Amino acid sequence: MTRMMSTSSIQTRTLKTLNKIDLIYPDWPAPINVKAIQTTRNGGFSIAPYNTLNFGAHVQDDDLSVKKNRQLLKQYLPSEPVWLNQVHGTHVIEVTPEQNNCNQDADAAFSKHQNIVCVTMTADCLPILICNVQGTAVAAIHAGWRSLCDGVIEATIKSLGLQSEHLMAWLGPAIGPSVFEVGNEVREAFKSQDRQAENAFQAVGDKWLCDLYLLAKQRLHNLDVTKLYGQTDCTFSNPSKYFSFRRDGVTGRMATMIWFE
């Protein structure tokens, strides 16, 4: 089937099935040459509990199944995604045609080169895509609570070295604020970084419900990145559509990808 990556419809938020894969195309006003894809859990080769479209090579899934799933992606992409070894930290790597090695320890990647695919894998953590309005730079961020608290967004924006008012962000599927229960140590860690973070926590017994989306938006606003989109779907609450580590324990990983042509 012919890949239709150059049409404007790619920016329409639509769930499609093309050659077995269920994909989401982010709904945001990115430049026409900026392309982004969010996978779901459906359409691949992995069997339970990784069924079916798992891209994580680190979750004890069958290696061949992961390779076949990644092979399915190639028809939609200009190049192999630069897969990261995500460690819940704040390290950011720049990807160039000369330096595009996979499996580096990092939780964010950016590129200012055409057809370089930056990717993050998640199963409850928050995937964040960044681009500039000129369509000349993109980034993908893996924002679990630890990396988010420690400054992975700030590190990425600094690494990009671009004016914040020229940036926009799309926040992908993550565990939602009605189900993400955390201990007081998480709340205190965020509050120690930014007092307004307390607004992202709601008491429930001796625990707290945490709003990852709000925490990320606060950090982005603090950096003067105000063009924010997405932030709607809860991975935990949609078992037929998304992987969720908090819900299932042993599970697969989805991919969130961005590049520019």
Give pLDDT, residue 67: 96
Nearest to 234 by CA among 171, 146, 162: 171
Cα–Cα dist 181/191, whole Å:
16
- What sign has the CA pseudo-torsion 119, 100, 19, 58? negative
Is residue 94 in a domain? yes
* Ranges under pLDDT 50 in the chain: 1-19
Is residue 186 in a domain? no
Residue 104, both tokens: 């580096």
Is residue 142 in a domain? yes
Domain hosting residue 35, numbered range: 8-176+225-260
pLDDT, tens digit, 9 for 90 and up, residues 241-259:
999 999 999 999 999 999 9
Residue 239, both tokens: 């078992």
Residue type, 3: R
Say which CATH number the domain at 238 has: 3.60.140.10
Is residue 211 in a domain? no
Give pLDDT, residue 120: 98
Give pLDDT, residue 148: 98
Give pLDDT, residue 157: 98
- CA 4 from chain centre, in angstroms, equals 22
Task: Quickly list DSSP for 137-157.
Answer: -EEEEEE-HHHHHHTHHHHHH
Give pLDDT, residue 239: 98
Task: Quickly list DSSP for 31-71.
Answer: -TTEEEEEE-S-SSS--TTS-S----TTSS--HHHHHHHHH
Is residue 220 in a domain? no
Is residue 215 in a domain? no
Give pLDDT, residue 15: 36
Q: What is the tally of structural domains in the chain?
A: 1
Residue 31, both tokens: 């430049």
Which residues have C-beta within 8 Å of that of residue 29, sequence separation ≥ 6? 11, 168, 227, 229
Q: What is the CA radius of gyration of the chain?
A: 17
- CA 50 from chain centre, in angstroms, equals 19
Is residue 187 in a domain? no
Angle at 148 between CA 73 and CA 237, to 5 degrees: 60
Task: Kindly report the pTM of this predicted structure.
Answer: 0.91
Cα–Cα dist 26/256, whole Å:
10
